[in-house]
């Protein structure tokens, strides 16, 4: 789990944030990726609850007041706000109009990162787009209607395909978890694409026809949703595959510190700690699991140390060292 996520969870506990507030904080975090479509959809649903709506908007305005290195807080808050205006409660747009000055001031947002890149331009452009949308009632009404129709159409297709192909979705039929449904459909069709698509019933085909975008705007929105779901599924898969490997790397770093302590105490002794066969087995498992991890170089240096390119290179010296294994 990333350290930023751990810190955010600790702050959630310390400040006793509510569930809606936690979701907004997660969607507008400093992580270098955008908020997931499923998370924004959950927050949009919560805006129809009066209490949750107040908590959500309060946290969004707080994020919009950030500055400097926390520019992602501001940009993601604007992105979330744009989504809520189009698919959430109408109260969202109403409150934004009442506080439009807070959004307008962000057109002057400035931040240059360490590489000299102007990250403030993302915030400036997004704020301008939102202000234009909020000031044009006809456009706002049209985009909101279009977004809701697209969301409803995709929900109907997801429900139909799920019922005909025994695919379960994370949420109800009215607002399914699209990212979850996408990954589950992909998982079932990966082994045999022909069998998956061939089993679709005429009803499902009819629903798919209805889901075709009617305008270029709908087509673009569906494409953005599909890309977001694909990216989220990939991130979840990556986190699942690398979680345990990170623990293995941490164990390797602990072994390194133990080696350095032994060598610092007495250079005449073997600079390798006393390990059990179980430890060596762990190291060999690390090597097999971390083959993609490169550049484990110069971890050890000195007369009796070796420079390694993978964790398993530690195993040889352990076995050669007199008394190195017990």
DSSP states of 143-170 as a string?
HHHHHHHHHHHHHHHHHHHHHHTT---S
CB neighbours of 41 closer than 8 A, spacing ≥ 6?
Answer: 87, 151, 175, 177, 178
Residue (of 45, 46, 77) closest to 60 by Cα position: 77
Is 30's pLDDT higher than 50? Answer: yes
Give 221-266 pLDDT, tens digit per residue: 666 666 666 666 666 655 555 555 566 567 667 766 776 666 566 5
CATH class of the structural domain 3-240: mainly alpha
Of residues 120, 22, 7, the one with CA closest to residue 70:
120
Which residues have C-beta within 8 Å of that of residue 40, sequence separation ≥ 6?
Answer: 27, 80, 83, 84
Spatial separation of the C-alpha atoms in residues 67 and 87, rounded to whole Å? 27
User: What is the per-residue pLDDT across 82-133, written as a single tens digit (0 to 9) for each?
Assistant: 999 999 999 999 999 999 999 999 999 999 988 899 999 999 999 999 999 9
Residue 312, pLDDT score: 42
Tokens of 101: 């000055």
List, in sequence order, the alpha helices (H) in the chain.
Answer: 3-14, 19-27, 37-46, 50-64, 71-87, 90-98, 100-104, 120-135, 137-164, 178-190, 193-198, 202-210, 216-265, 277-289, 315-320
Helix (H, G, I), strand (E, B) or coil at 114: coil
Find where tokens 């779901």 sit: 229
Per-residue pLDDT at 325 exceeds 60: no
In this structure, what DSSP letter does residue 118 have? B
| Range in 28-32, 183-187, 239-243, 319-323 with the lowest mean pLDDT | 183-187
pLDDT for 223: 65
pLDDT value at residue 121: 93
Residue boundaries of the structural domains of the chain:
3-240, 244-320
Residues 184, 160: Cα–Cα separation, whole Å? 14
Q: Does residue 301 surpass a pLDDT of 60?
A: no
């Amino acid at each position: 789990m990333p350290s930023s996520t751990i810190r955010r969870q600790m702050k959630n506990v310390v400040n006793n944030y509510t569930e809606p507030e936690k979701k907004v904080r997660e969607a507008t975090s400093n992580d270098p990726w955008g908020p997931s479509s499923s998370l924004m959809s959950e927050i949009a649903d919560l805006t129809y609850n009066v209490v949750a709506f107040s908590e959500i908007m309060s946290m969004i305005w707080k994020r919009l007041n950030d500055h400097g290195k926390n520019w992602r807080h501001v940009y993601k808050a604007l992105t979330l706000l744009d989504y809520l205006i189009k698919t959430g409660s109408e109260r969202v747009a109403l409150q934004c109009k009442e506080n439009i000055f807070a959004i307008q001031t962000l057109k002057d947002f400035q931040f240059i990162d360490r590489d000299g890149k102007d990250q403030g331009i993302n915030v400036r452009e997004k704020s301008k787009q939102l202000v234009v949308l909020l000031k044009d009632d006809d456009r706002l009404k049209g985009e909101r209607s279009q977004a809701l129709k697209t969301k409803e159409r995709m929900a109907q297709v997801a429900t139909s395909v799920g019922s005909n192909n025994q695919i379960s979705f994370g949420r109800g039929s009215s607002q399914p978890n699209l990212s979850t449904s996408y990954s589950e459909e992909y998982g079932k069709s990966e082994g045999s694409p022909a069998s998956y698509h061939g089993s679709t019933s005429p009803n499902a085909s009819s629903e798919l026809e209805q889901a075709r975008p009617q305008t270029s705007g709908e087509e673009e929105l569906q494409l953005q949703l599909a890309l977001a779901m694909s990216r989220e599924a990939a991130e979840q898969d990556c986190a699942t595959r690398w979680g345990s490997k990170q623990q293995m790397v941490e164990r390797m770093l602990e072994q390194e510190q133990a080696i350095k302590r032994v060598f610092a105490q007495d250079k005449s002794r073997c600079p390798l700690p006393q390990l059990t066969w179980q430890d060596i087995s762990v190291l060999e498992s690390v090597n097999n699991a971390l083959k993609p991890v490169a550049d484990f170089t110069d971890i050890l240096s000195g007369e009796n140390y070796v420079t390694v390119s993978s964790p398993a290179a530690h195993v040889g010296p352990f076995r050669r060292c007199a008394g190195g294994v017990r």
